[in-house]
Amino acid sequence: MNKTLSNLILVVFLSLFFINCANRGTPDGGPKDEDPPIIIKSIPENYSTNFTGNEIRVYFDEYVKIKDLQKQLIISPPMKIQPDVTPLGSASKYITIKIYDTLQPNTTYAFNFGNSITDNNEGNPYPYYRYVLSTGDYIDSLKVSGKIVDAIKTKPETFVSVSLYEVDSTFNDSIIYKETPKYITNTLDSLTTFSIENLKEGKYMLIALKDGNGDNKFQQKTDQIAFYKDFIEVPTDTLYTLKLFSEALDFKPTRPRLLSGEKIAFGYEGDPTGMAIHLLSETPPEFESRITQDKKTDTLNYWYKPRLEVDSLLFKVTHPSIEKEDYTVRISKQKVDSLVIESSPSGTIGYDEPFIISSAIPFTSLDTSKITLIDKDSTQIDFTTDFDTLTNTYAFYFKKKEEHAYNIKFLPEAFVDFFDNKNDTLSYVLKTKKISDFGNARFTLVNATYPVIVQLTDKDGKVKIEQFIENSGSFDFLNLNPGIYHIRVIHDTNGNKKYDSGSYLKKRQPERVSHFKEIEIRAGWDESTTLQFTSE
C-alpha cells in the first residue's frame, strides 16, 4: 500500500470517528412542548372579596405573552376607563392589570382573557382564563347560558358579544344605543355557545351583538344584533337561543350632488321604495326629467334637460318614513355622459333566461323594426320585450332550442337615449347547451307552513335560483348546472316573496329560515328530495 493511499484511509477513518462522536453528543430536542403555562399565584388571589386596590398580578411558571387582547379580553361589567394589561409585545413571567376606573360597590367583576395568554416559546394558550374579584363581601355566582345562531346563514359570526342590561327604573329600549351593558361575555373565535357568569339576582334584557367597533353599543349600520323576546329572571335554568341578524337600515337620504352634465345623484340608506324626487326650481315648458337606479351604489340618478343656466337647483325628497328633506344642488357646466350599451348574458344563455340590454343613460325609445333575431338555420325568431324604467333595462324573451345558436342584431338608431344619442350596429351571438348537460331537482315538502321560499345557494349562501311556493305538492328546479347546492327555506310569514329581517325597536324577530343537507346535481340526472320540517 503506498503512502498516499494510507493517508487517505486515515483521513476517512478520523472523519467518521468525529462525526459519530458529534452525533452522540447532539440532543434531538425531545418532544414538542404542548402544555399551557401554569399559574403559580395571583395577588390578590383569584375570587378575592372586599377588593380595594388598583393592581392585580398573575404569576406563571414560564414566560408568557399576551396576543389579540382587544378581541379576547372581556371585562364584565364593562369599565368606562379601560385598564392597562401588560406585557404587550414582550414576554414576562407575570401579567399585570392596572385599574384606573372607579369600581362599583358590592359588585363582582370578571376579567375574561379568552385565549390571549400564551407561553413565549410555542404559543400554547392558557385556555379561557378568568380572574374574578368582588368589591363586596361575596362573589355573585349566578349565570345565564345559551347559544348563538345566525338568522339566515348556517353558521354565526365569531367574537359575538352577549350582554345583559338590568331592567330597573332607568331602563328603556334605547339603552343599547347609548349605554354599556351590566354584564357581558364573548363567544370568541370558535364557540357558538355562551355563558355569562357571576351575576346578581334580578330582571334583565338579553341581547347579542356582532360589534363592529367594539364599543358595546348597537349601531344599526355596522352591527348585527340578536335579542330574546322577553325579559329574563335570574336565577334561571333556561338555555337561551339568540338569533343574530342584520337590521334593514332605516331610510335616510343623503345630500345630492352633480355627477356630470344634467345628471344629479341622490344617495340613500335603507329601502328606497316610495322615494320621490321633486324639483322645486322654476323650469321652462320643454323641461323633461327621468329617474334611474344606479347599478352599483344606493343611488337614484336624476336626469334632466335642457341644460339650465342657473347656479343651483332646489329639490325636495319625500319617502313614506320621512316628512321631507330639502336640498340645494350646485350646478356647473359638465360634460354629458356618452351612450354605452351593455348586454347580459354573454356567450351561453339559459332556456328560460332573457337577453338583457342596459345603459347608464335612460332609454327613451326602441325601434323593434331595426332588430333581427335569427337562429343557426337563418330562421327568423319571434321575440317580446319588457322595459324596466327604473333599472333602464330591456329584456328580450324568445323560445330556445337545445344546442342551438342565435344571432341578435340591432341596426343603427334602434335605441335612442334621453340626450338623443343613438346606437351603432350591435351584434351578439348566443348559444344554448344540450339538455343532457343539465340536471333537474324535484322537491317535496312535509309539514311545511305555506308560503315558503325555497332557495338553492352556493356554499357561501349566494342564491343561485329560488321559487316561491304557496301550496303543498312537488315542484321542480329544471336545467340546473351540475354542482353542489345548499338548500335554504325561508318561511315567508307575510307572503311578500322576500326574506324579512328583524327589528329590535319593533320587537320583531327575523323570519324563520330552515337549512337542509346539500344536494349534488349531476348532468343528465334527476334528483328527488323530501324536506321534512319540524317546529322551531
Q: Tell me the CATH number at 221.
A: 2.60.40.1120
Q: Is there a domain that residue 31 lies in? A: no
pLDDT for 277-335, tens place per residue? 999 999 999 999 999 999 999 999 999 999 999 999 999 999 999 989 999 999 999 99
- The DSSP-derived string for 215-275 is SSS--TTT-EEEE-SS-EEES--PEEEEEEBPPPPPPEE---EEEETTEEEEEEES--TT-
- Residue 15: the pLDDT is 52
Cα 524 from Cα 438, distance rounded (Å):
6
Q: Do 157 and 230 fall within a single domain?
A: yes
pLDDT band at 25 (very low <50, low <70, confident <90, very high): very low
- Residue 18: the pLDDT is 45
- Residue 289: the pLDDT is 97
Q: Do 149 and 238 fall within a single domain?
A: yes
* pTM exceeds cut of 0.85: no
Q: Do 506 and 523 fall within a single domain?
A: yes
Q: Do 122 and 49 fall within a single domain?
A: yes
Only one residue has cell 350596429, namely 425
If you average pLDDT over residues 344-354, what whole number do you get? Answer: 95
Rama region for 213: left / alpha / beta (φ>0; ψ in -120 to 50; rest): alpha
Rama region for 461: left / alpha / beta (φ>0; ψ in -120 to 50; rest): left
Distances (CA, A) of 135 to 80, 169, 234, 444, 493: 17, 24, 21, 61, 49
Q: Is there a domain that residue 11 lies in? A: no
Q: Do 163 and 75 fall within a single domain?
A: no
| Beta pairing partners, 358 | 342, 393
Tally of structural domains, the chain: 5
Q: Do 214 and 150 fall within a single domain?
A: yes
Q: How many residues appear in the chain? A: 536
Q: Do 506 and 473 fall within a single domain?
A: yes
Q: Is there a domain that residue 416 lies in? A: yes
pLDDT for 234-243, tens place per residue? 999 999 999 9
Helix (H, G, I), strand (E, B) or coil at 380: strand
Average pLDDT over the chain reads 92
Task: Answer for the pair 268, 300: CB distance below 8 angstroms, yes or no.
Answer: yes
- Residue 19: the pLDDT is 45
Q: Is there a domain that residue 16 lies in? A: no
Strand 363-366 versus strand 415-417 pairing type: antiparallel
- What 3 state SS string does 435-490 have? HHHCEEEEEEEECCCCCEEEEEECCCCCEEEEEEECCCCCEEEEEECCEEEEEEEE
As given in the structure block, the three cell numbers for residue 245 are 341578524
Identify the domain boundary among 311, 330, 349.
330
Q: Do 442 and 527 fall within a single domain?
A: yes
Q: Do 451 and 515 fall within a single domain?
A: yes
Domain range for residue 119? 39-134
pLDDT band at 7 (very low <50, low <70, confident <90, very high): low
CATH number of domain containing 308: 2.60.40
Q: Is there a domain that residue 7 lies in? A: no
Helix (H, G, I), strand (E, B) or coil at 437: helix
Q: Do 419 and 368 fall within a single domain?
A: yes
Q: Is there a domain that residue 222 lies in? A: yes
Identify the domain boundary among 433, 449, 469.
433
Task: Answer for the pair 408, 418: CB distance below 8 angstroms, yes or no.
Answer: no
Q: Do 311 and 284 fall within a single domain?
A: yes
Letter for the amino acid at 437?
A: D
- Residue 443: the pLDDT is 97
Q: Is there a domain that residue 8 lies in? A: no
CATH number of domain containing 403: 2.60.40.1220
Q: Is there a domain that residue 33 lies in? A: no
| 5 has a pLDDT exceeding 90 | no
Please name the helix (run of DSSP H) or strand (run of DSSP E) that holds residue 441, with its range, or none. strand 439-446
- Residue 411: the pLDDT is 97
Q: Do 284 and 349 fall within a single domain?
A: no
CA 420 to chain centre: 42
As given in the structure block, the three cell numbers for residue 529 are 328530495
Letter for the amino acid at 245?
A: F
If you average pLDDT over residues 5-11, what whole number do you get? Answer: 49
Positive or negative, the CA dihedral 320, 324, 325, 326 is positive
Cα 164 from Cα 368, distance rounded (Å):
64
Identify the domain boundary among 244, 265, 293.
244
If you average pLDDT over residues 49-69, what whole number do you get? Answer: 95
- Residue 16: the pLDDT is 47
- Residue 10: the pLDDT is 47
| Beta pairing partners, 98 | 55, 84
